[in-house]
Chain A
């Protein structure tokens, strides 16, 4: 039972991660490989603040989101000077720099040894120590994230994002602030990526840089692409499938280190296949067209 709860919690964390990236990568077309970096920034911010300064969860969560957001504004204003291929390489760079900082800045992050003894979340005196309580908390935050992201994507701002991802110049000619919209979408995505980071840190009670590598970023991006790029529910389902997959493979009797590789091989194949499916662009989905009032 504990095991199933653990998997459910991990699924919800990845649902949040992939849905926040859906806004950035799917709706505004800014394929980012830095998402695990922001996930890590959230985790480290909360871990450092709660271990060193004893701040409560209700303070560290907003602070983690704000710090992640500020960093995102700073890097995206630079990265968004480029487009497409170059943008991916730059975000990969941001990810590597973020990982280097977590791995090498000994005095702040304790380097490869990681931060231990992160306290359990407690809100107004109620400590979320049992798995079931933590699951409920995660579920509430996931629902909140989904609700906010859905409202953003269906708002006029969301339509600007879809428009600019399909034709930037045309969108600009309509008087929309393309650059601002891109920065905003990147920043919002990064802020929401900090939430699962905070939860993860308090849930495992130990974090080290290996949880926030480039591979993790690629994994989150794969979830978004496999989930159908512009579908929050698609991302959620893909997250569930990809998190359960290695566990299922292990259940069948595959050694766990090969199961991890198998999962990566499978989502690598899925990425290639999805590229064949989308080779005409992401804008083919009927539901997107139907939602734009004519």
Chain B
């Protein structure tokens, strides 16, 4: 039972990360690895304002969201948009985002140091008992908030005007431009939304396990693995992918050893590529089948 609760809370964290990454991937078509730093940065910003300036935690969340969204927009405006203008293919943007990630991660290391920062505001009392297992308040909040944001995101994409524009640009940017949608603006929107969602994920995780400069990268890679397993471009696949990944990792931690969790994620990814190279949803990974 305890395992199931751990699986659930991990699933929803992965889902939130994968979804925030997916929104950007969906509109721009490249793997934005610098997204990892948004996750890390939001944790640090919230930590800094809570511990050093003594603002109430709720306010620091708002500050963290604003900060991360600004950073997300800046990366798009200063690096990816100019690259896009030069017709760089997605692959080059990926490497540029890797460079950007290295720069920002080391900046965080210089500012805050490499040691693990403890950021547990929600003190673990004992947890609430259900069906003989314990669930902490943080886990409940994680599950509810992630689920809420995920559903909210889906509704937004489906019914809001901006959301519909995002989907239009994602399916065909040129055609969207022709009917008067400013695709540059829409991409900015997706960066903003993605960064905002990633902020919440980053803060939730840092409340749970504390802060290190590399926390975002690991988390993002789990999100990416969940996305690839689930099948790229499929929203429901994200849920399946996150669930499968969280289940495998937690069962692995339970039966083998928690130190192998990292490896398990990738072994699953590799097994998936052998057995079902197209993910749950069956979309093509290759541009062309030869």
Q: Which residues of A contact B (CB under 8 A)?
A: 31, 75, 78-79, 81-86, 88-90, 92-94, 96-97, 99-101, 103-104, 168-169, 172, 178, 214, 218, 222, 225, 257-258, 261-262, 264-265, 267-272, 275-276, 278-281
Contact = CB atoms under 8 A, between A and B. Distances in A.
A265 B257 CA distance: 35
Given A92-B221, A104-B260, 17 more contacts: A31-B95, A78-B270, A89-B221, A96-B266, A97-B270, A169-B290, A172-B290, A214-B217, A225-B95, A261-B109, A264-B106, A265-B106, A268-B101, A269-B103, A276-B82, A276-B96, A279-B88
Interface string B102-126: 1101110110001000000000000
Top 3 closest pairs, chain A to chain B, by CB: A271-B99, A268-B102, A93-B266
Nearest to A94: B266
Contacts of B94: 85, 88
Contacts of A99: 262
Nearest to B227: A89
B31 interface: yes
A97 B285 contact: no
B102 A271 contact: yes
B287 A83 contact: yes
A100 B263 contact: yes
Given A81-B273, A104-B260, A261 B228 contact: no
A204 B265 CA distance: 32
Contacts of A101: 263
Contacts of A264: 102-103, 105-106
Contacts of A79: 270, 273
Given A97-B267, A279-B87, A261 B79 contact: no
Interface string B260-290: 1011011101100110010000000111101
A286 B106 CA distance: 36
B224 interface: yes
Nearest to B95: A275
A279 B86 contact: yes
B224 A89 contact: yes
Given A88-B94, A100-B263, A276-B86, A270 B99 contact: yes
Given A92-B221, A97-B267, A172-B290, A218 B102 contact: yes
Interface string B159-198: 0000000000000000000000000000000000000000
A275 B224 contact: no
A93 B268 CA distance: 10
A275 B270 contact: no
B98 interface: yes
A278 B262 contact: no
B100 interface: yes
B285 A275 contact: no
B288 A100 contact: no
B30 interface: yes
B260 A83 contact: no
22 contacts: A31-B91, A31-B95, A75-B270, A82-B277, A85-B91, A85-B94, A90-B273, A93-B265, A97-B267, A100-B260, A169-B290, A214-B217, A218-B102, A262-B106, A268-B106, A269-B103, A272-B100, A275-B83, A275-B93, A275-B95, A276-B96, A280-B86
B210 interface: no
Nearest to B261: A100
A265 B99 CA distance: 8
Given A89-B224, A168-B290, A275 B99 contact: yes
A225 B99 CA distance: 11
B153 interface: no
- Of B106, B257, B265, chain A has the most CB atoms within 10 Å of the CB of B106
Contacts of B31: 85, 88-89
B115 to A, nearest CB: 11
A268 B99 contact: yes
A261 B285 contact: no
A22 B84 CA distance: 26
